[in-house]
Amino acid sequence: MREWGLSIGLLPPGPLNAITDVEGVTVGHVTLISGEGSLISGKGPVRTGVTAIVPHCGNIFKEKLIASCFVGNGFGKSAGLVQVKELGTLETPIILTNTLSVGTAVDALIEYMLSSNDDIGITTGTVNPVVLECNDGHLNDIRGRHVKKEHVFSAISGAKKTFETGSVGAGTGMICHGFKGGIGTSSRRIEIDATAYTVGALLLTNYGRMEDLIFNGKNVGRILKEEIRGRERVGEKDEGSCIVVIATDAPLDAHGLERVAKRGILGLARTGSFMGNGSGDIAVAFSTANRIYHYGRPVIEVNTISPHSEDINKIFQAAVEAVEEAVWDSMFTAERIVGRDYHEAPLLPVERFLELVRER
């Protein structure tokens, strides 16, 4: 959207305006598109995929990161959140996919972690795979469960600093506020005590009604819906979910990261989300500033920004702004996807949208 001269918020973005502006974080996709026409359950058409967020380049099981999560509305089938909340650590990459492929992704992520950690389940405990999902069944043959283990492996191994957004990876079959959505990302730079930090967000957007869509406080969705109605199918319900992943290099403990995750939900609200009854709106936040060594000493020291410092407000603001812009990134970069039974979601009409937001 910044290429069209639009920006959100007051804080500056990082150089890539992406979650990977946080040093060490990489992202990989596998996009699965095959077949066309009428649905043949179990065979296609296929419009789905996998997205992997790798928090650092080391062995994350042995060098865990501090993390937490927040559930805005719990209509979701995610895995691993209970332990993340309980222990306050993240020990695997984060995998995003469709709802009915969570089991496959969990199995693949466990196998991936076992392959590089001979001790898991033998001389130490098991592993907590984190997999999050949204339902892409309107465009995809979701019952076919076309995501396989090798797709998860490829998404992880292919993770890099620069990556595509929009109708890719787990976002291939997703719909946001009635328009084609998918993967979106953004980042913000802040300074605390003369040290620069980055807050980055990556979203899997699959939520909201068109008439609720808001840009900088202006309801543009209602106008766009009236103009599109009659020419294209426009959904009436708030169905689906949104997964929010927030990364930062600012030092925070688990409680602080839970508070940051909560602000991710505020970013969704600024776009018009009210977290509908059937929506799974879940945020996970992690910090790369401290490593929790699996075989470390029983008493550890970690650096963290004091919850009594007003500077923590900078991180909260950065999280809200990055999440809000990531929603728009998912729509601005989306490409046309014609799904099963010729279903499709209209692309955001960018030029008309620009006219609306610039009107006085």
User: From CA 303, how far away is CA 86, in angstroms rounded?
Assistant: 20
First vs last C-alpha separation in the chain: 20
The DSSP call for residue 348 is P
The torsion angles phi and psi of 317, rounded to 5 degrees, stand at -60, -40
Task: Write out the two tokens for 357.
Answer: 């937001």
Give the position of tokens 């328009």. 179
Q: Could you give the 3-state DSSP secondary structure of residue 47? A: strand
Closest CA to 270 of 184, 352, 353, 208: 208
- Catalytic center residues: 241, 279, 281
The residue type of 192 is I
In whole angstroms, what is the distance from residue 130 CA to residue 239 CA?
23
Report the distance separating Cα 74 and Cα 234, nearest Å.
25
Beta pairing, strands 179-180 & 175-176: antiparallel
Residue type, 104: T
Pick from 193, 324, 243: nearest CA to 51:
243
Peptide bond into 12 cis (omega under 30): no
Amino acid identity of residue 110, one-letter, is I
CA angle 264, 268, 271 (to 5 degrees): 145
Q: What is the dihedral of CA 212, 284, 52, 162, to 10 degrees?
A: 70
CB atoms within 10 A of CB 251: 18
